[in-house]
Amino acid sequence: QVQLQESGPGLVKPSQTLSLTCTVSGGSISSGSYYWSWIRQPAGKGLEWIGRIYTSGSTNYNPSLKSRVTISVDTSKNQFSLKLSSVTAADTAVYYCARGPMTTAFFDYWGQGTLVTVSS
Amino acid sequence: QSALTQEASVSGTVGQKVTLSCTGNSNNIGSYAVGWYQQISHGAPKTVMFGNSLPSGIPDRFSGSKSGTTASLTISGLQPEDEADYYCSTWDYSLSAYVFGTGTKVTVL
């Protein structure tokens, strides 16, 4: 069974860069059959897709966040990562990583999520 | 601003059939299958349907369908454990991005 686990600082200061890592177990991130995404959810609000990466390094980002987002992959560690720059309080949210099969438009496995608070 | 529109809330009694809808446009639902995600008490989302296929372990009282630019998730025989928030999602080729619905809160009376 594939499992995804987010990790990273739970508190980030305004204007700094938020950095999170998703570790994949139970399957290889290099299998080539999946996209790997980041999704977030502010408290009391809905889900927002941030971006995705393929093992080749090819990426797609949410147009509303594109200027501040970088997603990368480390196949040797079976991990992919998120960097979100110039954060504000509006970036406070639970951040999820998720897997999506290629040629489809959905996510089949999700991480448990990690809360990131932006505050001084 | 969500690209997909869902009812804010739906309720039903145990055993009742309820249907949730997800409305988009030709750039998203009209072109791709839709995924449905269950979120219980603000926990991690869980995939309960993709297109009209059930993931392993999801009870067959859940079913999915689509007509034009509207997708639906039906729960036939509502159970107390189905009380949750449900989100739809798919790819939008004009945005080159995944889009989510506004979410529906299902309450079991």
Q: Would you write out chain A's pLDDT as a tens digit for each of its 120 residues?
A: 899 999 999 999 999 999 999 999 999 998 878 999 999 999 999 999 999 999 888 999 999 999 999 999 999 999 999 999 999 999 999 999 999 988 888 999 999 999 999 999
User: Band of the pLDDT at B91, cuts 50, 70, 90?
Assistant: very high
B86 shares contact with chain A (CB less than 8 Å): no
Mean pLDDT score, B45-57: 92
Query: Exposed e or buried b for every residue in B60-88, given b needs 16+ CB within 10 A?
Result: eebbbebeebbbbbebeebeeebbbbbbb
Name the residue facing A105 among B32, B43, B47 (closest C-beta): B32
Name the residue facing B35 among A60, A61, A107 (closest C-beta): A107
A104 shares contact with chain B (CB less than 8 Å): yes
Q: Smallest CA–CA separation between B47 and chain A, in Å?
A: 6
Average pLDDT over chain B reads: 94
DSSP three-state, residue A55:
coil
